[in-house]
Structure 1
Amino acid sequence: MKQLSFYLSGERPVDQVLPIIMRGAMAKGQRVLVVADDEADLDRLGAAMWNANPAAFVANGKASDGHAARQPILLSTECIAANGAAVIALADGRWREEAEGFERALLFFDDRQRDSVRAIWRRFDDREDVEREYYAVEDGKWVKKA
């Protein structure tokens, strides 16, 4: 992993802010694996990407639905990039060691998860091979804080 980006959604649910980043990834031609433990969370995230901006929807599908290799944004409970993704988005605020196998990892979290995510940030303090970034939502846009 070369880059680790932290995304604080604040009081907003991740499904309201994740589509902004996924839209940008698609515009760059990137494939992304979005991971969460809960199937219901994956369903909400998928629906949000299809419906957040009807003029600029984010095409996606769940790994469990088949055709995983064709999905530009693949939603899964496992850290397996069947779509060839180089980017992993951990959408539930939980770090997974498998994320280090991707070029870039995005960790989305809300206000309730701040303390546990701070511990993850500190885990990478001495890692010169990993560039860290921190973003927060302000007025509906992601703003880089660190």
Structure 2
Amino acid sequence: MTTKPEVWFYHLERSTLDQVLPTLLEKTLERGWRALVKAGPARLEAVDEALWTYRDDGFLAHGQAGGPHDARQPVLLSDTGENLNGAQALFILDDAELGATEGFERCFIIFDGRDEPALQHARGRWKTLKDQGAPLAYWRQTDEGRWEKAA
């Protein structure tokens, strides 16, 4: 029997995806895990650029799926979600489908709470996953910008 990964919802209210995603990816790598980021092609182009430039003093090593070294990438960007780098953490952006989660320890669903369709989509996902018995957590930002577990 395969265990279901934890699914953590991150509700963006005060920060943008470009501000939050690199930090979450850094924490994932610090844990000794690899990450797979799943989104549509246009979003992946923006994420690719952001991960190279989000800090003045460094970057986050990563690659886009379809390259010769997919299996070696600490962070792999993909529009298919195929776990080519053996990632333990799956990051779902926008309305990308969760898909198969076997083999992942944790899935992060990051959504913009200021976008009504994105909010409704996340609520629908939460309900579906809860009905399936998935272990869920909901994180939101405090007024100071820190993350706190709200459910």
CA distance in 2, matches of 1:145, 1:93: 22
Contact 1:23/1:57, CA 8 A, preserved across alignment: no
| Offset from partner CA, 1:21-58 (integer Å, 9 cap, x none) | 00101111110110002x22112112222222244532
| 2:76 aligned counterpart, secondary structure | strand
Alignment of 1:1-146 (within 5 A): 1-10=4-13, 12-37=15-40, 39-55=41-57, 57-99=59-101, 102-111=104-113, 112=115, 113-128=118-133, 130-138=134-142, 139-146=144-151
Residues matched between the structures, number: 144
CA distance in 1, matches of 2:131, 2:14: 30
Question: Aligned AA for 1:76?
Answer: S
Percentage of pairs with the same residue: 33
CA distance in 1, matches of 2:52, 2:146: 19
CA distance in 1, matches of 2:147, 2:74: 22
Contact 2:38/2:80, CA 8 A, preserved across alignment: yes
Contact 2:92/2:109, CA 8 A, preserved across alignment: yes
| 2:107 aligned counterpart, secondary structure | strand
| Segments of 4+ moved more than 6 angstroms | none
Unaligned runs of 5+ in 2: none
From the two aligned structures, give the one with the greater helix fraction: 1
TM-superposed deviation, 1:8: 1.2
Change in CA separation of 1:19 and 1:141 when aligned onto 2, cut-off 3 Å: farther
Unaligned runs of 5+ in 1: none
| 2:36 aligned counterpart, secondary structure | strand
* TM-score normalized by the length of structure 1: 0.85
TM-superposed deviation, 1:141: 3.5
Q: Compute the RMSD of aligned alpha carbons.
A: 2.0
CA distance in 2, matches of 1:56, 1:7: 25
* TM-score normalized by the length of structure 2: 0.83
